[in-house]
Chain A
Amino acid sequence: MASNEQAAAGESTHALNKRSLWSGILFGIGSMAFIDEVIFHQLLQWHHFYDLATPQIGILADGLLNSFAWFAAVGGLFLFADLKRRQAVRMKYWIASILIGSGAFQLFDGIIDHKVLKVHQVRYHVELWPYDLSWNLFGAALLIAGIALAESAKKERPV
């Protein structure tokens, strides 16, 4: 592990680009989880802290995901601060990687959490499919926008 931290101090361009990508992806995942928590749990109260029908595996998966998301949001920003002090920020790429991270998280939440593990549903006592469809389409749109932005940034100035 010591070698990892030593490599970071040695800052090759490749390592910094990789760090930038991870910074955005982690921050994207973390902020999406936070937005989900605030909008759907606290403001709209469509789904809850715990809905009393969640299977054990769902509680475990949700706990891990939530715990990881907290860490990802904070860690992503500290990685960004590190890029900033090394003057290695490329804003367009960074925003693209945030979109990719948050879109991937949204899709993961919509497909794995809601449908496969059945942690909870988007909303209760309503026809579910329009909610599921828009949830996942929104995630896919974020993901595609992120990839497109990264491509356009690459055309301007290759990595």
Chain B
Amino acid sequence: MLHHHLSPAVLWFPLATVVVLAGSLLLYTALAAWTNRRYKQWPLRRYLFWFSGVAAAGISLASPLADAAHRSFSAHMAGHLLLGMLAPLILLYGKPLTLLMRSLPVKPARHLSRLLNSRYILIVSHPVMTALLNFGGLFILYRTDLFVWMHQSVWVYALVHIHVLLAGYVFTWSILYADLTVHRHSFRLRAVVLIMAFAAHKVLAKTLYAAPPTGVATRDGEMGALIMYYGGDGIDLALIVLFCYSWYKAAAPGRIARAV
């Protein structure tokens, strides 16, 4: 049992979440429909990916699961798997950046392209950096008092959850290249980062099993750690298969290797 409850008066966070997520669905559909008049039809599967990804994030942030997460570490962890691992993976296949690029008029599109090519994006989208932001963030969340503060202040709660979703997304993007990707790195480098990052996830899950965060009961902590470990394994496997498949396609005989 966590001893730190968000007061029921703090309703604005789930409400704001629902508004933002619903807005993203509307915007996505509107942009796709609008650009369909000028370009090829935006494929149906990408709408499905985007909608399911948003649904996964929504379940994690504003649902009975999100309420239970204030009291139970296991529910918290299930929500984090959805928000930090599953939602990013599915959202990426909705190709939002490709859609944005296709929607923008030439001039703003050039600005966006310049931004994507900038040194800043080069650094923050480097697989090593995205892995640090993603998994380093998890270590800070569970191994410092941040986990307690998160349940005391709704602002900290909001920031942590936005970070989990964004860091998960940028990490997945920097490994899989399923959407528009500017700075590319070799398969070997990405494979090494992927292995190290998943190892860090497993190590954190095991130490959480042994020593749950402050305020979490032993039993609840163990269950949460198992969910983190084995649930993480499942999504890791999906990521590894997709990554290896992208290698398989890139290494096809007769295909001109692209300059990475």
Contacts and interface: CB of A to CB of B under 8 A. Distances in A.
Given A63-B202, A74-B244, A85-B253, A50 B188 contact: no
A155 B112 CA distance: 61
Interface in B213-247: 226, 229, 233, 236-237, 240-241, 244-245, 247
Interface residues of B, number: 39
A38 interface: no
Interface of B: 185-189, 191, 194-196, 198-200, 202-203, 206-207, 209-210, 226, 229, 233, 236-237, 240-241, 244-245, 247-248, 250-257, 259-260
A128 interface: no
Given A2-B259, A70-B236, A11 B253 contact: yes
Given A11-B253, A59-B207, A75-B240, 11 more contacts: A1-B188, A1-B189, A2-B260, A5-B257, A49-B229, A50-B210, A63-B198, A68-B199, A71-B198, A74-B244, A78-B247
Contact of A64 (B194, B199, B229): B199
A78 B187 CA distance: 13
A75 B244 contact: yes
Size class of the A contact interface (CB-based, 8 Å): 20 to 34
A63 B245 contact: no
Contacts of A59: 203, 206-207
Interface string A14-49: 000000000000000000000000000000000001
